[in-house]
Amino acid sequence: MITELSIPVADIIRKQREFFQTGKTKDVAFRIAQLKILKQAILENEQEIVQALKADLNKAEFEAYATEILVTKEIDYAIKHIKDWTKAQKAAVPIEFFQYSAKIYSEPLGVVLIIGPWNYPFNLIIAPLVGAIAAGNCTFLKPSELAPHTSNFLAGMIPKYFDPAYIAVVEGGVETSQNLLAEKFDYIFFTGGTSVGRIVMEAAAKHLTPVTLELGGKSPCIVDTEINLEHTVKRITWGKFINAGQTCIAPDYILVDKKIKTNLIEGLKKTIKEFYGDNPASSPDYARIISQKHFDRLANLLKNGEFVIGGETNREERYIAPTVVDNISWEDAIMQEEIFGPILPIIEYSDITEAIALINSRPKPLALYLFSQNKNLQKRILQETSSGGVCLNDTVMHCGVSSLPFGGVGDSGIGSYHGKASFDTFSHRKSVLKNSFLLDLKWRYAPYEGKLAFLKRLLG
C-alpha cells in the first residue's frame, strides 16, 4: 500500500511520468495484457471483494456480484473493441482540400487521477480504470475513505498485479484528496457529490486539467396510468432499495398520476415485503447506511410526511427500513437535497404538464425514469426534460449497458464514461491533416491581388 506518508505522491507521479515517457502504455498489446491482468486480479479476489463490501455496507453477496464484481463486463467490452477504438479514424476533407488527407488519432493523456465514492466503492474505481488503461494512461487511484475495507483491499490488491509506476493507489480522506488535487495531473475523473465536484473542478482549473465529474442529484421517477403495475412496482422497489438506496441513479422520488397512486402504493408495500420480509432488519439482502453521519442526515429527512411503510431505524446498526412516504410537499426538506438512502417520497400529479414544469424548475438530474406505455408521453418526456440518462419502464438498468455513455448534465455532472465513452474520456483526439507535394496552388499566398473573387466564390 502506498500512502503519502511512505512515498511522497509527487515522487510516484514523477515515476509514472517517466514510465509514460517510455511509450510502453501506447502499445495496444500492452494495454490488452493489462486489462487481462485486471480481470484476473478481480477473479482471483472475488471473495475478498465480497467480504470488504459486506464489512463496509453489509452488501449482500448477490449485490456485490451484480453491481461491483461484474464490472469485469466493462473489461471484456474494452478488450473486444480496443483495436477498433485505437485505429486512426479517417476524416472527410472538403473538395478544396482535394490533395490533403485527414485522420483523427486517439492518444493517451498521460498520468490521470481517479477519485472514487463509497457507495459502489469497488466498481466506481475499477470502471474508470478500465477506460484509463484502454486509452494508454498511467493512473492514480484514490478510493473513498468511507468504505475503508474496500479502500484497504484495493490498496493491497493493485500493487500485487501492477507496478506503482503504472497504477498506484493512495488511501486517505479529504486531506489526501486535496493534496493529490494540488498536483498536476493530465486528467481528473471524479465520482462523488456535487459540492465536492465544485472543489475538484476549482483545483483542476489551477493546472488547466480537464475533468469528468460524475455527480448526483434528485432523479425523478414518473409513473403514468398506462403501465403493467406488477412490473412497475418490482422495478421501482429494486432500483430504490438496492444498496439501501445509496445509488447515484436510484429513483429519488416518485411523481405518480393521481388516478393510480393508491394502487402504486399498495403494490410497493406488497413488493417491499416480498423482497425483504416483514422485518427487513433481519433480511440478508438488505444493506446498511455507510456511516453514522449519513444515518443522522437520513433520519432527519424522516421527519416529513406520513409513512406508508417502513420508518423504523436503528442508529447503532445504521439501519433504516425501506420507507415509502406519502403527503410530501415540494417545500419539505426531503425534496431539497438528494436523498441517497432508502426513503421514497411519493408526490401525485393530476396534470403532467405541471409535473414536467416542476422537474424543469430544478437542477438537471442524473437519471429520469418514466413508466408508461404511452408512446406520445414517452416522446414528450424525452423532448421536454433534460437529464444525464433516461430509462423507460425500468430503473437503474441503463448504467449496465456499455454502449450507452453514462454521465450527468448540468448539476449532475460533466462528461461521461462506460465502453467507448471511457476510452474517449481518457484520450486526446488528435487531428492530423496531411498535404502532398504534387501541386502547390497559389490562391492563398500573397500578393492577394486578383485572388479575392475566387475566395468569394467559395462562399457559395
The catalytic residue positions are 214, 248
Cβ proximity to ligand NAD: between 221 and 309 the closer is 221
* Residue 2, all three cell numbers: 502506498
- Looking at residues 369 to 408 of the shown chain, list those that interact with ligand NAD (rule: CB under 6 A): 408
Nearest approach, Cβ of residue 233 and ligand NAD (Å): 24
Site string for ligand NAD, 129-148 (x = CB under 6 A): -------------x-xxx--
The answer to whether the CB of 394 falls within 8 A of the CB of 235 is yes
Site string for ligand NAD, 156-175 (x = CB under 6 A): -----------------xx-
Cβ proximity to ligand NAD: between 257 and 338 the closer is 338
Strand, helix or coil for residue 383: helix
> What is the torsion angle, in degrees rounded to the nearest 10, for the CA atoms of residue 231, residue 233, residue 234 and residue 236?
120
Q: 389-406 burial, b for 16+ CB within 10 Å, e for fewer? A: bbbebbbbebbeebeebb
Taking CB under 6 A as the rule, does residue 243 contact ligand NAD?
Answer: no
Answer positive or negative: Cα dihedral of 74, 75, 77, 81: positive
Binding test (CB under 6 A) with ligand NAD, winner from 77, 85, 118, 426: 118
Nearest approach, Cβ of residue 412 and ligand NAD (Å): 7
Taking CB under 6 A as the rule, does residue 193 contact ligand NAD?
Answer: yes
Cα separation, 370 vs 392, whole angstroms: 5
Nearest approach, Cβ of residue 145 and ligand NAD (Å): 5
Taking CB under 6 A as the rule, does residue 257 contact ligand NAD?
Answer: no
Identity of the residue numbered 77: Y
Cβ proximity to ligand NAD: between 23 and 173 the closer is 173
Cα separation, 49 vs 64, whole angstroms: 8
Cα separation, 253 vs 89, whole angstroms: 43
Taking CB under 6 A as the rule, does residue 344 contact ligand NAD?
Answer: no
Taking CB under 6 A as the rule, does residue 220 contact ligand NAD?
Answer: no
Cα separation, 68 vs 400, whole angstroms: 11
Residues in binding contact with ligand NAD, number by CB under 6 A: 29
CA 380 to chain centroid:
26
Binding test (CB under 6 A) with ligand NAD, winner from 338, 348, 411, 424: 338
Cα separation, 310 vs 279, whole angstroms: 9
Task: Kindly list the residues in this chain that would bind ligand NAD in the complex (CB under 6 A).
Answer: 115-119, 124, 142, 144-146, 173-174, 177-178, 181, 191-193, 196, 199, 214-216, 248, 338, 340, 366, 408, 413
